[in-house]
């Protein structure tokens, strides 16, 4: 797996620049799935390199979801833990605000000094990214989650199994 946190951070910056509504960790995870799924179907490879698992309510990237759980629960990691390096790299690009609600913890993303760097992506990757973002820019996390279940590969994959 070629998990690329730099590309993920830059896509988040791009989403913030495009003023994607309702952007939290859940919507981001679903949008990244849709971007990678579409790119894999059309180009034969994923952009972000995460492994996407079918969950009860939506598919999500295994590694990024784990990183978000660590951030949300303010877990202490060993200084040699690879996940700590990934989180630090993500935080080099943007700030993550942890909001505790009654029933769940939500992460929101804030732009710092870094700007979106489109040179990290190929032309084909940019087309896929822009297509998915334009299509779901105003969607709520629940609406976009429901969209994923219209995809046959998502429907036929057993819960907890890898979709792509």
The 10s digit of each residue's pLDDT in 77-127 is: 999 999 999 999 999 999 999 998 888 899 999 999 889 999 999 999 999
Residue 2: its pLDDT value, please? 86
3-state secondary structure of 143: helix
Q: What is the mean pLDDT of residues 133-161?
A: 95
pLDDT above 60: residue 1: no
CA-based nearest residue to 117, from 43, 7, 3: 7
pLDDT above 70: residue 50: yes
- The residue whose two tokens read 């698992």 is 53
Q: What is the mean pLDDT of residues 46-69?
A: 96
Q: Whole-prediction pTM value?
A: 0.95
- For residue 116, give the DSSP letter: -
28 with 68: CB under 8 angstroms? no
**Six token digits for residue 43:** 């180009």
Per cent of the chain over pLDDT 70 is 99
Q: How far apart are CA 162 and CA 157, in angstroms?
A: 7
**Window from 27-31, 43-47, 100-104, 125-129 with minimum mean pLDDT:** 100-104
């Amino acid at each position: 797996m070629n998990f690329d946190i730099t590309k993920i951070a830059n896509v988040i910056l791009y989403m913030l620049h495009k003023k994607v509504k309702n952007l939290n960790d859940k919507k981001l995870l679903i949008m990244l799935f849709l971007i990678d799924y579409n790119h894999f179907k059309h180009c034969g490879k994923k952009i972000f390199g995460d492994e996407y698992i079918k969950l009860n309510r939506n598919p999500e990237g295994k590694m990024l979801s784990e990183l978000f759980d660590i951030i949300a629960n303010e877990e202490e990691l060993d200084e040699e833990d690879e996940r700590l390096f990934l989180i630090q790299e993500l935080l080099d690009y943007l700030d993550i605000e942890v909001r505790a609600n009654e029933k769940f913890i939500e992460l929101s993303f804030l732009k710092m000094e870094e700007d979106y760097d489109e040179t990290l992506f190929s032309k084909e990757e940019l087309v896929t990214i822009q297509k998915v973002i334009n299509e779901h820019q105003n969607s709520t996390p629940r609406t976009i989650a429901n969209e994923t279940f219209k995809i046959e590969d998502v429907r036929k994959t057993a819960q907890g199994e890898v979709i792509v």
